[in-house]
Each structure stands twice: as structure tokens, then as C-alpha cells.
Chains A and B, each alone.
Chain A
Amino acid sequence: MFKLITADMKVLGHRLWIIPVGLFLFVTTFSFIPYLNQVQSFQYLIFISLIPALLLYELFRENHKNNSEIMVMTMPIDRKKIVYSKYLLLFGFIMIGFVAGLISKELITFFNIGLNNNFVDPMSKDMLFALTFILRVGLFIIPIYHYTRKLNLSFFAGIIGYFLILAGYFELYYEVFGWTWFGDRVISHLSNISIVISIALIIHLVVKYKFKGISKEKIVNGWFIVLAYLTTVTLQLLIKNLIHFDLYLRLKKICGDLAHLYTAEQLEKYHNLINQYNEYLLMVGLSFIVLTLALILIHRKAENKFFQYAVLFVMLPIFMIIFGEYSYDFFTWNFRRFHSYEAYVIVKNLFSYLNLIIGVFISVKVSIYLLKNNRTL
């Protein structure tokens, strides 16, 4: 693998230092120009994020230009190592960006005399987050490229797709994953889910009647993706509500032993919340079970493994978010009661990167499958 990484670095050649140095100089000098040094920290972070992004693009561009991957695949190289080396290189590019950003930050703050300056000293932690954003987008770009072998499409689809999915079809995602039990959004969440199903149904009918050449398996795959998305939605709703189980228990206690301390009106409100919780949990739980069974049924009828990996890949952002942000909420809600704040912060930070680890795992697995199965060579 070291040989592959060395080979790719030789392929990049001068760009390996020209791009980081160029962007470093641009960012650093830009912030010293009077009346132009209105650089806000997020702009600074964007520039530094460009270092790994451009290096990754250039690497893929060189491999893509003359189909040099074909040459690589005729050599005695394990396909897994080809994939691993790309991800390791991406990580290396991110570290280059991080180091460039750190040095630039120190220079700017050292020489900065604070005149007419809106520059906000970006924390190293923020910088690392911006750089890992490139890693997260890269997790989409690399498998898409291995599938399509189209460079610009892969980068475009990876970046836009990542934003679209994160934004959850723009706002739909936040609505669906939002606060459900205490709020009055149950109806809106159900309507959002029904929108997803309606859109899938319309697409199904259009595909079935207008594009008669589409195979049955592709239509089944499409429904699998929709059902997998809804399954993860219900799973997330379950987790989100189970997080507040302690609140539910407190409400039960209020309505039980401590009822004499509250007014009738308050008690009625709490009773309603308890009932809502029970019903909602039951509804979401049953939906999750039904959807999972439907997925298992379709999975059993699958004719080939490709779409399993495709579904995994499509679900990648969902898994990343579920197992990241919400998992530490779920697993650490009790932890923070019995451990120090410092310990809690460490565990919280670990979980916030857990999604990245899972994302890398899924992305690598999908890429290896695509490369080994030569889908578009």
C-alpha cells in the first residue's frame, strides 16, 4: 500500500506542494490587506478545505485522464489496497490542509494588529471539522466514481448529493428527524413520510408505463431504497423518543405519587403526554418492525448483491447521522449523570466521530465491491 501511495504522490508531482502553498499564501496574505481583511472565519475555513478537495480532484483527474486505472489493474496489485490507498491519501491531504491552516492561523494572529478587522480566529477544532467535511463528502465521491467512471459527475453528485441528503431533501430531513413527542409535529411528520411514499409511487407508475424497458429488478431496487430510508427514519424516531424515557418516567411519577402537588389542568396535560408517548412509541415501533420485515423479504428475493451495496451507500448519510449525533445522545444521557464533565466531553467527541468511522467503513466496502466487480470497465 505504501508503494501505491508513493506512486500516487509521484503522479501528483508538483501539485502536491503547489496547491497547499498557493492556497496558504492566498489566505494568509489576503488577511493582511487593509480594507480587504474582512475575512470571516468560515471563509478562511473554506479556503483551507480547498486544499484536500483540490488535491483529491487532481489525483482522480490524472487517473481518469488516460484511463490509467486500467494500467494499475493489470499490475500485481490487490484491489483492496488500491481502494485503501485512496482513502489514506484523502486523509493525508486533510492533514496537509490542517497543518497549512494551523500555520496560517498562527501567522495571522501573530501579526494581526486588530485594525478594522472582522477576522475571527478560527479554533483548531473548527478547522478540523471543516477538513473532515471534505472527508465526509469524499466518502460519497469515491464510490460514485468507481461506479460511473465519470470524474466531474462524481464530484458534482457527491457534493450536491451530500448537501441534499444532509438537508434531507432540503427541509424534509429536519422535519422528519425533528422533535416528535413533545411537539405537535406528529401530523406533519406523517405527511412528510407520505410525501416520500407518494413521490416513489408516482415514479413507479411513470417508470412502469413510460419506460417499459426498465427491468423489474430495478423497480424493486428503487422500492428497497425507499423502504430502507423509511426504516432508518423510524429507527431514528424510536431512538429520539427513547432518549427521553427518563422524562416519561418522571411524568408518570408526577401523575402517580406526586399528583397532589399539581393542578388538575396540569395533570390532564401530563396524562395526555404520557398517552401520546405510549401511542407514538407503539406506532413507530410497529412501523419499524413492518418495514424491516419488508426489507428482509425483498433482500431474500434479490438476484444479485449489487443493489445491497447500492442501498448501503444510499443510506450512508443516514447511518452517519444516526450513529453520530443521536447515538451519543442516546448512549451518554445516563453517562453524564455519573461521570465528570471532562469525561463526558471526551465521550461526546468520540461519538461525534463515530459516524465518520462508520461512514468510512461503508464507503470503503462499497468501493472495493465496485472495483472488484468491474462494473464499468
Chain B
Amino acid sequence: MNKILEINNVEKSFEGFKLDKINFSLNKGYIMGFIGPNGAGKTTTIRLIMNLLKKNSGDIKIFGMDNVADEVTIKDRIGFVYEESYFYEHLTIKKMKEIISPFYSRWDDEKFDEYCDIFGLLPKKKIKDLSKGTKMKFSLAVALSHHAELLILDEPTSGLDPVFRDKLMDILREEIQDENKSILFSTHITSDLEKIADYITFINDGKIVFSDQKDILLENYKIVKGDTKILSAEIKNQLLGVKENKFGFEALCNVEKHSIFSQFDIVTEKPSLEQMMVYLSNKM
């Protein structure tokens, strides 16, 4: 079994929003970046994976097991970091850890203490007295302290300074060195993903736009810029997220369709993940 996470035809409807036939998978030993604009369905997808929401249809398999039927077994092997802090605010870090640790069969006190040192967490400090970033650090320390095989991180770097974010990327890279662990990383800060992600899944308006290797994606798309005069209807149809202004246009273009510009004077650039996200969101 190579796939650590499989999501097949998952649907979930709310009033005014629908997660429509979500399909993607994550192999063992890789990091997947899960990106999309606000309200695209990232957190909903993660909640469905963690069985915090009931899906309307489809199936989700983690470690080859159904995420609902084998919930307890699966969650013992998952390290989860939520976007917000749901800890008991009146408790200290030490007390909070004493509440959480007995539930994980492979909890490692030494590792937790080590991460507390690295992240600068004081055991006697109350959760309510921590800043947003420090609460996130505590959340990360907990997720990393029970030898989890799958780390699911929902916006883990929000509120963190660039120095710590860089340190965290190093820690995550180190975590998957043994090739038995995987990470699903949802974030807006795509520059973090460009450093460590192997795969990227982009979701927009409840639909998966693409899910592929990061390098292939970045190779397959280019940003094209040129004069608006060359923008015929036929050419516009081949482009994604076209932006026009009085100086010209810019858009994202699949390299396979690049030949349509052979007779025109245009400029091409390699896109960043962030730029891809912007253009693809505009397109929808």
C-alpha cells in the first residue's frame, strides 16, 4: 500500500456551497500542498478527512482504512494542526499536554519536551496568555510528538514569523526523511510550499482544479504578457485568468497551447504557485 490518503468522489453540500466530487490522493513519503482561495473548500475537505463533518457521498481512506469506521485507529496515527486554537485556555501547556498525551499510544514525552525547547514554549504558561503564533507552535509540538504517520496541517504557518516558518519547513522536511510519513499542508503562504511540497492540489469553488507534482505543474504553465490587440476570442479561450489593462494583458497559459503565440510578440515567465493560484481563481 503506497497511498496514505485517498479521497474518492467525495461530496458535501451546504446551503450556498457544494464540495463537488473531490478526488485526490497522497502517497507515502511525500508532502502535498493544499491550496485555494478563501471559501474554496480547503477546511471543509480537511474536516471531512478528520470526520468532523459528515460527507454526503464518496469515500475517504486513510492508511487503507475507512475514515469513519476505523476512526480511532486512524486518528492515533494522525498529527493534526487546526487553523484555530481549540485548547482549554485556562490550562497551562503542561496540564494541556497531560490531558492530550494519554490518548495517543505512541506519545513521546521526550520529543514533546524537545519541541517545547525548540519552539520556546514554557510549560507553566497558560494557553490564554500565549500569542496566536505561540498557540500554533504548541499545536505543532503536540502534532509532532506522537510519531504520527500522517500530518494534516490546516494553515499551520498563519501568525508565524518568517524565521520560525523557515525552521518549521526544516522540521517537516526532516520528519519525512524516513519515507514512511506524509504531510498534507493547507496554506495561503504558497512560498512555504514551493520550498517543501512535492505535490500540489488546488481547489476552487468546491472543485479540484488540479492535483499533480509541483515541478510538473510549474513546468506546464507559463505566464504570458502582451498587447491586448492580439487577444482574439480564440486566443482568449486558450488562456486562464486573463487580466487586461491599458498597458496590455497577462494570463496563464498551458505550455501545450503556447504555439498560438508563435506569430506574436509576447513575454513569458515561469509562474510561482501564488501566481498560478491567482490566475486560476480569476478564471473560475
Contact = CB atoms under 8 A, between A and B. Distances in A.
B72 A78 contact: yes
Interface stretch (B30-38, B80-88, B155-163): B80-88
Interface in A52-96: 62, 65-68, 70-71, 73-79
B90 A77 contact: no
Interface residues of B, number: 31
B104 interface: yes
Interface in A1-38: 3, 6-7, 10-11, 13
Contacts of A62: 88, 90
A65 B73 contact: no
A374 B52 CA distance: 7
B76 A377 contact: no
B104 A3 contact: no
B16 interface: no
Contact of B52 (A7, A73, A77): A73
Contact of A10 (B76, B87, B99, B105): B99
Contacts of A77: 72, 75, 103
A278 interface: no
Contacts of A70: 52, 82, 86
Contacts of A7: 99, 102
A124 interface: no
Contacts of B52: 70, 73-74, 374, 377
A77 B74 CA distance: 10
Contacts of B114: none
B73 A68 contact: no
A140 B193 CA distance: 48
Contacts of B71: 76, 78-79
Contact of A71 (B74, B86, B95, B105): B86
A11 B76 contact: no
A377 B53 contact: yes
Given A10-B95, A66-B89, A74 B50 contact: yes
B231 interface: no
Interface residues of A, number: 23
A66 B75 contact: no
A79 B87 CA distance: 18
A68 B75 contact: no
Contact of B73 (A11, A67, A76, A374): A76
Contacts of A11: 88, 91, 99
A373 interface: yes
Given A3-B103, A10-B95, A76-B103, A374 B86 contact: no
B225 interface: no
A76 B88 contact: no
B269 interface: no
B132 interface: no
Chain A CB within 10 Å, residue with most, of B80, B82, B88, B102: B88
Interface in B37-71: 47, 50-54, 71
A377 B47 contact: yes
B75 A76 contact: yes
B234 interface: no
B216 interface: no
Contacts of B99: 7, 10-11
A66 B71 CA distance: 23
A6 B95 CA distance: 12
A74 B88 contact: no
B174 interface: no
B122 interface: no
14 contacts: A3-B102, A3-B103, A7-B99, A10-B91, A10-B99, A62-B88, A71-B82, A75-B103, A75-B104, A76-B71, A76-B75, A76-B105, A377-B47, A377-B53
Interface of A: 3, 6-7, 10-11, 13, 62, 65-68, 70-71, 73-79, 373-374, 377
